[in-house]
């Protein structure tokens, strides 16, 4: 948590109406959207003028979140987003640890700004751009951090049903429905309070996970057919080419969670999904692991990315096939290095 002095300063700055902007990382997920909208709906009750700016579009499966449709999309609404950022008294940056996580276009703008920033984030190795940094890798989600932040400021009574629904969303999605190792007694205590605030937890779960299109399930079928195991490295991987995505009428969010299937195979401790994005000229990669295999380090070192020990992402500028070959070669080299 922030220090008592920092909290007192933040309490004081929030005690009079301010212009506040909230930003999250590019390709926002449930935790980025949930924490940003939860914080926004909390701050609005304190009479601040608050806007949430996402670098790019959010997936359809999160569009039901309270206030989601008011989101300003930086890469589509630059003329609207720029003055909002420039005129902010404070900018909250949520669910990321370095400005480049907002993408090239938004990073350039954020780097030119001298407006004070407040970071709330649970990724490793936070950069030091913010005036106030609440960074803690022990949290499973930024949403749980926002919950603690609001409580530390003494505003638990302002966590209403809508704020709670947003925060619950990120806790559920980032914890894999309460199964990943950072799910703690505090997580369940937080969720117990959110349910007390009136959220419909079962309905939210349905909205998040039982809302697939038929085509999304067919795409999942294709992904599972493409799943390969590399037993000598206790690894597996999935590929999805642009052509395959197009064949199933791919929409943003459709590949969410597919990577986890690679880890559900007996004996596999590290897995990846490689998704071709012809428009951006990249292969977007998600990594997942169990135990000590550090995919944050792996993604940082070899694939222009990062994240957490057991869940990370990155990208490659090579072809799909070359990227997969690189992945296997690196696994071989890493194995050899560890055995030495
Ligand atoms: P996912 O695989 O679900 O997209 O992401 C897993 C974790 O890695 C998340 O915490 C996400 O923020 C992080 N992550 C995903 N892609 C990137 C990336 O390109 N760079 C960095 N630094 N982190 C990423
Ligand atoms: Mn997160």
ipTM entry? 0.97
Say if residue 204 is in the same domain as residue 258.
no
Q: What are phi and psi of 199, to 5 degrees?
A: -65, 155
Cα separations (Å) of 288 from 35, 183, 258, 277, 293?
23, 17, 11, 20, 9
Ligand 2 centroid to Cα of residue 232, in Å, is 31
Q: What SS3 class is residue 15?
A: coil
Q: Is the pLDDT of residue 339 over 90?
A: no
Say if residue 219 is in the same domain as residue 176.
no
pLDDT digits (tens, 9 = 90+) for 236-282: 999 999 999 999 999 999 999 999 999 999 999 999 999 999 999 99
Residue nearest to atom 20 of ligand 1 (CA): 305
pLDDT digits (tens, 9 = 90+) for 51-90: 999 999 999 999 999 999 999 999 999 999 999 999 999 9
Average pLDDT over residues 208-237: 97
pLDDT digits (tens, 9 = 90+) for 157-195: 999 999 999 999 999 999 999 999 999 999 999 999 999
Any atom of ligand 1 within 6 Å of the Cβ of 286: yes
Q: Is the pLDDT of residue 299 over 90?
A: yes
Say if residue 125 is in the same domain as residue 192.
yes
CATH number for the domain harbouring residue 308: 3.10.310.30
pLDDT band at 206 (very low <50, low <70, confident <90, very high): very high
Higher per-residue pLDDT: 338 or 206: 206
Residue whose token pair is 């909002």: 84
Q: What is the pLDDT of residue 107?
A: 98
Q: What is the pLDDT of residue 109?
A: 98
Q: What SS3 class is residue 274?
A: strand
Any atom of ligand 1 within 6 Å of the Cβ of 313: yes
Residue nearest to atom 17 of ligand 1 (CA): 313
Q: What is the pLDDT of residue 68?
A: 98
Domain enclosing residue 170, as ranges: 4-209
Any atom of ligand 1 within 6 Å of the Cβ of 30: no
Any atom of ligand 1 within 6 Å of the Cβ of 315: yes
Q: What rounded mean pLDDT belongs to the chain?
A: 97
Q: How many Å apart are CA 205 and CA 177, to the nearest integer?
A: 9
Q: How many Å apart are CA 135 and CA 260, to the nearest integer?
A: 26
Q: What is the pLDDT of residue 315?
A: 97
Average pLDDT over residues 300-314: 96
Any atom of ligand 1 within 6 Å of the Cβ of 38: no
Nearest ligand (C-alpha, residue 315): 1
Name the domain count of the chain. Answer: 2
Q: Are residues 126 and 119 in contact, defined by beta-carbon separation less than 8 angstroms? A: yes
Residue nearest to atom 19 of ligand 1 (CA): 314
Q: How many Å apart are CA 51 and CA 65, to the nearest integer?
A: 15
Of 118, 171, 119, whose CA–CA distance to 141 is shortest?
171
Ligand 2 centroid to Cα of residue 337, in Å, is 31
Say if residue 295 is in the same domain as residue 205.
no
Say if residue 312 is in the same domain as residue 184.
no
Say if residue 20 is in the same domain as residue 150.
yes
Q: How many Å apart are CA 71 and CA 52, to the nearest integer?
A: 5
Say if residue 193 is in the same domain as residue 222.
no
Average pLDDT over residues 149-156: 98
Q: What is the pLDDT of residue 131?
A: 98
Q: How many Å apart are CA 32 and CA 292, to the nearest integer?
A: 26
Any atom of ligand 1 within 6 Å of the Cβ of 306: yes
Say if residue 82 is in the same domain as residue 222.
no
Share of the chain above pLDDT 90, in %: 99
| Tokens found for residue 22 | 């909230």
Share of the chain above pLDDT 70, in %: 100
Any atom of ligand 1 within 6 Å of the Cβ of 305: yes
Say if residue 95 is in the same domain as residue 198.
yes
Any atom of ligand 1 within 6 Å of the Cβ of 312: yes
> What angle, 0 to 180 degrees and rounded to 10, lies between the N-to-C axes of helices 104-112 and 78-86?
30
Ligand 1 centroid to Cα of residue 5, in Å, is 32
Residue nearest to atom 14 of ligand 1 (CA): 313
Any atom of ligand 1 within 6 Å of the Cβ of 253: no
CATH number for the domain harbouring residue 118: 3.90.1640.10
Q: What is the pLDDT of residue 338?
A: 85
Q: What is the pLDDT of residue 340?
A: 82
Q: What SS3 class is residue 75?
A: coil
Cα separations (Å) of 68 from 65, 266, 329?
5, 39, 42
Ligand 2 centroid to Cα of residue 32, in Å, is 6
Cα separations (Å) of 153 from 8, 13, 146, 183, 306?
8, 12, 11, 23, 31
Average pLDDT over residues 2-21: 98
Say if residue 8 is in the same domain as residue 124.
yes
Q: Are residues 310 and 288 in contact, defined by beta-carbon separation less than 8 angstroms? A: yes
Say if residue 91 is in the same domain as residue 218.
no
Q: What SS3 class is residue 63?
A: coil
């Amino acid at each position: 948590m922030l220090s008592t002095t920092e909290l007192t300063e933040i309490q004081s700055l929030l005690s009079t109406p301010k212009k506040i902007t909230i930003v999250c990382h590019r390709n926002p997920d449930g935790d980025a959207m949930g924490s940003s909208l939860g914080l926004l709906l909390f701050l609005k009750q304190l009479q601040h003028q608050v806007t949430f700016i996402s670098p790019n579009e959010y997936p359809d499966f999160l569009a039901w979140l309270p206030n989601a449709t008011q989101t300003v999309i930086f890469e589509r609404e630059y003329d609207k987003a720029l003055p909002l950022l420039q005129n902010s008294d404070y900018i909250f940056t949520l669910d990321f640890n370095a400005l480049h996580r907002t993408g090239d276009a938004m990073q350039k703008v954020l780097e030119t700004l001298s407006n004070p920033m407040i970071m709330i984030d649970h990724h490793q190795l936070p950069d030091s751009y913010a005036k106030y940094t609440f960074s803690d890798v022990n949290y499973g989600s930024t949403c749980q951090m926002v919950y603690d932040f609001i409580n530390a400021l003494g505003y638990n009574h302002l966590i209403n049903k809508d704020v709670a629904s947003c925060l619950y969303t990120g806790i559920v999605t980032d914890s894999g429905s309460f199964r990943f190792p950072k799910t703690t007694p505090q997580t369940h205590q937080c969720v117990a309070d959110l349910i007390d605030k009136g959220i419909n937890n079962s309905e939210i779960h349905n909205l998040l996970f039982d809302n697939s299109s038929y085509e999304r399930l067919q795409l999942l079928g294709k992904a599972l057919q493409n799943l390969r195991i590399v037993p000598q490295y206790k690894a597996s991987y999935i590929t999805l080419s642009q052509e395959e995505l197009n064949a199933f009428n791919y929409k943003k969010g459709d590949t969410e969670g597919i990577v986890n299937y690679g880890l559900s195979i007996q004996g596999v401790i590290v897995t990846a999904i490689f998704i071709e994005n012809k428009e951006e000229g990249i292969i977007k990669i998600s990594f997942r692991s169990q135990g000590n295999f550090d995919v944050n380090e792996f993604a940082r070192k070899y694939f222009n990315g990062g994240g957490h020990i057991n869940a990370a992402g990155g990208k490659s500028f090579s072809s799909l096939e070359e990227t997969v070959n690189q992945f296997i070669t690196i696994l071989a080299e890493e194995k050899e290095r560890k055995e030495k």
